Amino acid sequence: MSANRPAAVVVLAAGEGTRMKSATPKVLHEICGRSLVGHVVSAARVLDPEHLVVIVGHGREKVTAHLAETDADARTAVQHEQNGTGHAVRIGLEELTQSGVALDGTVIVTCGDTPLLTGATLQKLSDAHAQDGNAVTVLSAEVPDSTGYGRIVRDPADGTVTAIVEHKDATEAQRAVREINSGVFAFDGRLLVEALGKVRTDNSQGEEYLTDVLGILREAGHRVGAAVAGDHREIVGINNRVQLAEARRMLNQRVLEDAMLAGVTVVDPSSTWMDVSVTYEPDAMVHPNSQLLGATHLGAYSEVGPGTRLTDTSVGEGAAVNNTVAVGAEIGPRASVGPYTYLRPGTRLGEKVKAGSFVEMKNSEIGEGTKVPHLSYVGDAEIGEHSNIGAASVFVNYDGMNKHRTTVGSHCRTGADNMFVAPVTVGDGAYTAAGSVITKDVPPGSLAVARGQQRNIAGWVARKRPGSRAAQAAEAAGTQGDKTDESA
Ligand code: UD1
Ligand code: CA
């Protein structure tokens, strides 16, 4: 735990985000498996603040509900009208002081739309703030294009920070400055409350600017400083969906680099997408065009992809999963899945199970060494160990009203093109004939045959299709125009 634990973190997230052109509030858009505000809150949690308040406004019902789900300890404060960043912080601090929180200590302010900002950078800001004994420390950055940002104005004599001037209020000379305000600050809590009371609205936007607090504190004789971010790309805010895609690509790159440095082979980082919540073991391998989402886990020596999307799916050690879509599935060690396989929630494959091409599975448990190699649907089933399910089989689990379960034992051999009409049980070591519709339980060790008998009607083509190509071919093959029924 950090020695200088902040009293509070205030996250500004009340803005509308008009340029997203979305029915979803801006801070709820997602990259790498987490909302924008979720990334900010999780970075803030690295500082272990005593309190965390998110200022909500536009779409506040959705944002509040989302926060309740993802971080139950986060508080919210409502800013009904967006009268500026200073106003927003004031509302956040009032929410805390009204519930008896004393704001002695550091207050960190950050924005809900900067998902790339890391906990480590926030920690550096907080540490620099404490070490320098500042009243306020702004996280600044040197950017290639400072258009639109507040500029950091420094004293020409000693280089200390004197003020932040908003782009719209800046002179030509100030606009040339490339050091900008990231929108992230560390404040002395008490001095912040005091200074916010003095912020005015006589600026081009008629808003209470949080940035004015710097000048106010400096004029009152307090120390004002800046901590320059090591990588300016960390502080980019998202305003539209182009920036959303850029941020996603950057964060994904970071997530993949962590995975690679931890021993995962990523064959093509440019076509691989991994959520921040994915876990892995060394020597897992990911082939191109794959998406690893949610609580997915890759075991050691597992091979995933190409062309695979796994959501909340665990892949056992040494398993291979190729051209597959899986959601909420558990794939056992050394199992083989795909190509072209769909595993739906509740699928659990044991060790060395094979789920082959054009196989869909749902809510089913498949025992060790069992194979479902081709063109089958397995729904609501339990299959034992070392059984083989014939090609093109369907576990008929739905009667139009309710779902029912099928049980197949161990060491079974079921024929191709079987229908298992649930509820039904096939005992251990049983066989079923190809083309069977299994509606009754099959005792262990039996062969079940459930299909129509074949009849061959001799000479039918010569009689019914005389002169046709088929009749000519049959005649050349030497069949007689015999009228007997030669059914077996
Ligand atoms: C702000 C800073 C600017 C900085 C830039 C960094 C001020 C006055 N300016 O400018 O110096 O370079 O961020 O991105 O602080 N918000 C509220 N309530 C409000 C206003 C804003 O919650 O009343 C939130 C927004 O949702 C957003 C953040 O505060 O998350 C920043 O607001 P925005 O309007 O984007 O500020 P900028 O003009 O970009
Ligand atoms: Ca902004």
| Average pLDDT estimate for 435-450 | 98
pLDDT in tens, 337-383: 999 999 999 999 999 999 999 999 999 999 999 999 999 999 999 99
CB-based burial label for 176 (10 Å; 0-12, 13-18, 19+): exposed
pLDDT in tens, 290-309: 999 999 999 999 999 999 99
Ligand 2 center to 148 CA (angstroms):
8
Q: Is the pLDDT of residue 2 over 70?
A: no
Ligand 1 center to 78 CA (angstroms):
16
Under DSSP, is residue 39 helix (H, G, I), strand (E, B) or coil? helix
Q: Is the pLDDT of residue 486 over 80?
A: no
Q: Does residue 300 contact residue 318 with C-beta atoms inside 8 Å?
A: yes
Q: Is 332 in the pocket of ligand 1 (CB under 6 A)?
A: no
Give the separation between CA 220 and CA 227, rounded to whole angstroms: 21
Q: Spell out which residues have Cβ within 5 A of ligand 2, the ion.
A: 237
Q: Does residue 425 contact residue 443 with C-beta atoms inside 8 Å?
A: no
Q: Is 82 in the pocket of ligand 1 (CB under 6 A)?
A: yes
Under DSSP, is residue 272 helix (H, G, I), strand (E, B) or coil? strand
Give the separation between CA 465 and CA 310, rounded to whole angstroms: 54
Predicted pLDDT of residue 261:
98
Q: Is 374 a catalytic residue?
A: yes
Please give the DSSP secondary-structure letter assigned to residue 442.
Answer: B
Predicted pLDDT of residue 16:
86
**Nearest to residue 372, comparing CAs of 359, 382, 385?**
359
CA distances from 410 to 369, 388, 426 (A): 10, 9, 9
pLDDT in tens, 371-408: 999 999 999 999 999 999 999 999 999 999 999 999 99
Say what percent of the chain tops pLDDT 90. Answer: 96
pLDDT in tens, 212-248: 999 999 999 999 999 999 999 999 999 999 999 999 9
Give the separation between CA 353 and CA 336, rounded to whole angstroms: 6
Query: How does DSSP assign 142-196, residue by residue?
Result: E-S--TTSPEEEE-TTT--EEEEE-GGG--HHHHT--EEEEEEEEEEHHHHHHHH
Q: Is the pLDDT of residue 414 over 50?
A: yes
Token reading at 470: 């088929």
Confidence of residue 283 (pLDDT cuts 50, 70, 90): very high
Q: Is 150 in the pocket of ligand 1 (CB under 6 A)?
A: yes
* Cα 180 to the center of its chain, rounded Å: 32
| Average pLDDT estimate for 282-288 | 98
The residue annotated as part of the active site, out of 232, 374, 386, 404, is 374
Across the chain, mean pLDDT equals 96
Q: What is the pTM of this model?
A: 0.93
Q: Does residue 223 contact residue 135 with C-beta atoms inside 8 Å?
A: yes
Confidence of residue 1 (pLDDT cuts 50, 70, 90): very low
Ligand 2 center to 236 CA (angstroms):
9
Smallest-distance ligand from the CA of 13: 1
CA distances from 285 to 241, 251, 477 (A): 31, 20, 56
Ligand 1 atom closest to the Cα of residue 12 is: 22
The helix (H) or strand (E) run that includes residue 131 is helix 119-132
Q: Is the pLDDT of residue 482 over 80?
A: no
Give the separation between CA 161 and CA 152, rounded to whole angstroms: 7
Predicted pLDDT of residue 484:
53
Which residue type, as a one-letter code, is found at position 130? A
Ligand 1 center to 16 CA (angstroms):
11
User: For residue 378, is it left (φ>0), alpha (ψ between -120 and 50) or beta?
Assistant: beta
The angle that helices 119-132 and 36-45 make with each other, rounded to 10 degrees, is 50
